[in-house]
Amino acid sequence: MSDCNHFAIQDPELFDTAMLDVYGRFITLLPDDILKDHVHLCFYLQEAYWWYCDKWQIRHDSLPSLKFNQFLNYAIENNPLLRVFVTPKQQASMLSQWKNYMKNIPLRGAILLNAACDSVLLVQSYSSGTWTFPRGKRNHGEDDHVCAIREVLEETGIDITEKIHSNIYTEVTASGKSIKLFYSPGWNRLTMGEPRTNFEIRKVQWIPLSDLRHCHGHFKYKTFDVLPFLDEIFTFCKGFKRGAFVKEFPGALLLYKTLARPESKAQVAYQDRKSIETFGPSLERLSPDEMFRINKQLFGIDSEFVNDDQGHSRQHHHSN
């Protein structure tokens, strides 16, 4: 067993193979301007680190489990190309400069609400155990809602492309950093994806909003990233239930109205299981008129839009 850069290597040959794979994929072809820009170079080294963790270390117990700073220092000291562009003095301050830069990168994500609009999807951090919304750092030049879609897919395995609107979101500023979360209502609680990356997300779970509002003690500490958004979420849910977002989320509103009809919790649970089977995966792409046609066919409800004196659209229902 040898020791390199303050961590033990049980299988040097396998470790060298893994690192050569990482170098070839993420380092060797980098242009000089990236290699000279050490802050941006850290982003590529982070991608290389995740590849090592997800594709190598998790499959081979004999490979060392590294922290990012260990990986970064080893790569700089042992990769000939990196040694040319990063001096020992620059290496010493490289990680702290990158962390300072990272503090100001905007975070984008989504608030996924179930069909009854009383539960929200949260993810638990693998390292800290805290709960938050699926979210992540926006890439340079990336649109906010595109970043949200990408991050939710990476952290939960759920594609929200058809169930998000670029103008419906809530945004807060925490420690000088912008955090924007887009609303995505109308999800079946049985929708449970799998994170696309390892060592980032420990668990994906639906949490009742009432539990978050009244949480205390250890659970409150573990959800401190969620609490600043709660008032805005309850405001959105109230408006959503009144039909304020029928144009943006027609399918989600129809599901909510459908769930409001059952007389028991058992029926609500049954409807939650059957909603996708009934309406199909393309529900959110249907127009309001198509929603009304389905409402009439399945539930005997006639629906129409009428305008009030102020020109506002209102939805009327008539049961047979």
pLDDT digits (tens, 9 = 90+) for 165-183: 999 999 998 877 899 999 9
Domain spans of the chain, in order of start: 2-102, 107-237, 242-319
What are the phi and psi torsion angles at 9 (to 5°)?
A: -120, 110
Bridge-partner residues for 114, per DSSP? 187
Beta-sheet pairing, 2-4 with 177-187: unpaired
Are the C-beta atoms of 112 and 121 separated by less than 8 Å?
A: yes
Confidence (pLDDT) at 240: 96
Burial 47-59 (b: 16+ CB within 10 A, else e): ebbbbbbeebbee
Decide if pLDDT at 298 tops 80: no
pLDDT digits (tens, 9 = 90+) for 226-283: 989 999 999 999 999 999 999 999 999 998 998 876 544 555 455 455 444 444 444 4
Confidence (pLDDT) at 17: 97
**Is 3.60.70.12 the CATH classification of the domain at 107-237?**
no
Pick the CATH number of 2-102 from 1.10.10.10, 3.40.50.970, 1.10.10.1050, 3.90.25.10: 1.10.10.1050
Q: Which residue has the tokens 């769930």?
A: 259
Decide if pLDDT at 213 tops 70: yes
Q: In angstroms, rounded to a whole number, what is the distance separating the alpha carbons of residues 41 and 39? A: 5
Spell out the residues 6+ positions from residue 265 whose beta carbon is closer than 8 angstroms to its own.
none
Confidence (pLDDT) at 193: 75
